[in-house]
Amino acid sequence: MHEQLKSFLTRRQIPFEELVPMAKMTSFQTGGVARILIRPANEMQTACLLKELNRTGQDWFVLGKGSNLLAPDGMIERILIRLNENEPAPRQMGDEIECAAGYSLMKLCRFAQSKGLSGLEFAYGIPGTLGGAVFMNAGAYGGEMADLLVSCSFLLPDGTRMTLSAEELELGYRTSLFQKKKAIITGAKLRLKPDNGLEIETRMKEFLERRKEKQPLEFPSAGSTFKRPVGFYAGALIEECGLKGLTVGGAQVSEKHAGFCINKDHATTSDVLQLIEQVQKTVFEKKGVRLECEVRLIDRY
């Protein structure tokens, strides 16, 4: 099946790579090898690809920048897709910005700042793409994507293009419609507020410094490992259970911030998953709270 797909991609001039080490493609820096990683250059190529995958019944997964993902150890047969980060560049229309889903969230923050538009400061330091931020309704420091989204464009599995308003996206705490609807987000429109560019830059730097001070950014991770349980903070619960520094193989509950599971020393994905399960089990036994994992796993087939 992959040989037929490679022939199709070659004919349509859609870029792809084979035998890609996932440690280089995810922020956790764990995982095995992807049989094939497809990098469509634009929305037209993405739609063309989806039509072919739909026709041949092949499953796929959008990788993004791999900042909130765990890749399985071993060979990954599932078809992985990574959108082009630079096609097209963001476009400003008054206090609104239209941007492609593959665009870096950090770069988008800087673009907004350069245009004197405020609202995205909270996202400065989140190492994902705009599409990933919409998918997860990413947030921090009192802000989230739901506060800014006007609309979102996406492709259905048959390649059909659709656009929905923010009100139709079922945005909630770290969730959106796309977590239960098979689709590829291709772009979004954000509404921001005019402000002084220097003041925006100051806030961005302050948020980034807070991240550096409180989070274990010196080690590979996927950011906060668990969603915030209602009425609690995951990191505080984990610390109260005495789990700071708990280690499985090369994976560890960060000694700097207990809400982070980190790749301390050449961890495997199996190490990380076992560590997550131990934390969840202990917190439930001691606190009666079920921690829900925020990090997603690329299933192995």
Tell me what the mean pLDDT of segment 41-64 comes to: 95
Tell me what the mean pLDDT of segment 256-263 comes to: 97
The residue type of 56 is: T
Q: Is 153 known to be catalytic? A: no
Q: Return the closest-CA partner of residue 71 out of 32, 37, 38.
A: 32
Q: Residue 71 contacts by C-beta under 8 Å, 6 or more apart in sequence?
A: 22, 23, 25, 26, 28, 30, 31, 32, 34, 269, 298
The catalytic residue among 104, 118, 151, 224 is: 224
Residues 197-236: tens digit of each pLDDT = 999 999 999 999 999 999 999 999 999 999 999 999 999 9
The catalytic residue among 153, 174, 221, 254 is: 174
CATH for 91-213?
3.30.465.10
Measured between alpha carbons, how far is 260 from 216 in angstroms, rounded to an integer?
8
Q: Are 221 and 28 in contact (CB under 8 A)?
A: yes
Give the whole-number percent of the chain exceeding pLDDT 90. Answer: 95
Tell me what the mean pLDDT of segment 236-263 comes to: 98
Measured CA distances, 126 to 65, 109, 129, 222, 223 (Å): 11, 10, 9, 10, 8
The catalytic residue among 98, 294, 296, 300 is: 294
Q: Return the closest-CA partner of residue 268 out of 251, 254, 282, 280.
A: 251
Q: Is 210 known to be catalytic? A: no
Region(s) of the chain under CATH 3.30.43.10: 2-81
Residues 107-142: tens digit of each pLDDT = 999 999 999 999 999 999 998 999 999 999 999 999
Q: What are phi and psi of 43, to 5 degrees?
A: -65, -35
Average pLDDT of the chain, as a whole number: 95
Measured between alpha carbons, how far is 42 from 24 in angstroms, rounded to an integer?
23
The predicted pLDDT at position 2 comes to 79
Q: Is 67 known to be catalytic? A: no
CATH for 216-297?
3.90.78.10
Region(s) of the chain under CATH 3.90.78.10: 216-297
Look up residue 7 and give its two tokens: 């022939």
CATH architecture assigned to 2-81 = 2-Layer Sandwich (3.30)
